[in-house]
Amino acid sequence: MKTTGNTILITGGSAGIGLEMAKVFVQQGNNVIITGRDAARLERAKAQLGKVTAIKADVTSADDVEVLTARIQSEFPELNILINNAGRALLHDLAEGKTYDIAVDEMTTNYFSILRLTDKLLPLLKGQKESAIVNVSSVVAYVPSGNLPTYAASKAALHSYTVSLRLALKDTSINVFELMPPLVNTELSKDIGGAENGIAPSIVAEDVLDALSTDRFEIRTGQTEDVYRLSLANPAEALNVMNPVT
């Protein structure tokens, strides 16, 4: 699909991968809208990006989503790309027996909030000549990481939903993409070695742009492709690679 002249909503667009995607799309001549929970961070992102619209909204809040979607429908009826990027990741050990609240937090952000926002914007996206939904999952959708167990579960759920959504919308104007980055150097991943071992978020953003232009619906950036292929050939070894013994 085209990569210029679009109107794009990026949730969690004030930092990390979301911010880098916003940069790339602005440079390509798109009308970009970013959301985030932190007003100050949003304003800094807006100052850095230039011509974007920044809307304070928490995607886990039903009230915020109502206000956001009403504004999109009123002010941006030409919206044709939705990028569900906002995410939540918490380190924890299942053996400690303190899983439930963490899982609810992550599933709400990484899964249920995406379903709600997508549901509300589907009529608008269906009405466009060409449109897209991009769901940002993770390499752990294929192979779980032991120190991010419920984050991995939430991304596996998102992966399954995305495949089903692609099937459901195959006869509409909406193309459904899934972005599965490896470890990325962002604030979200700083506690799990992102600063030392993660790829630059700009690499991920450029890969998204390429995938949209070539209709590559499964976007397995960097080492995700290797992990994916290993998971098919040797699941046990893939699990070892994702969870090395220290």
In the three-class reduction of DSSP (H, G, I as helix; E, B as strand; rest coil), residue 155 is classed as: helix
Catalytic residue among 111, 151, 161, 228: 151
Query: Is 151 known to be catalytic?
Result: yes
Model pTM score: 0.94
Q: How many CB atoms lie within 10 A of CB 37?
A: 16
Q: What is the DSSP letter of 198?
A: P
Nearest to 30 by CA among 16, 55, 49: 49
Nearest to 151 by CA among 67, 65, 88, 235: 88
Can you give the pLDDT of all 246 residues of the chain as single tens digits?
999 999 999 999 999 999 999 999 999 999 999 999 999 999 999 999 998 999 999 999 999 999 999 999 999 999 999 999 999 999 999 999 999 999 999 999 999 999 999 999 999 999 999 999 999 999 999 999 989 999 999 999 999 999 999 999 999 999 999 999 998 876 665 555 545 567 899 999 999 999 999 999 999 999 999 999 999 999 999 999 999 886
Two structure tokens written together for 111: 């899964």
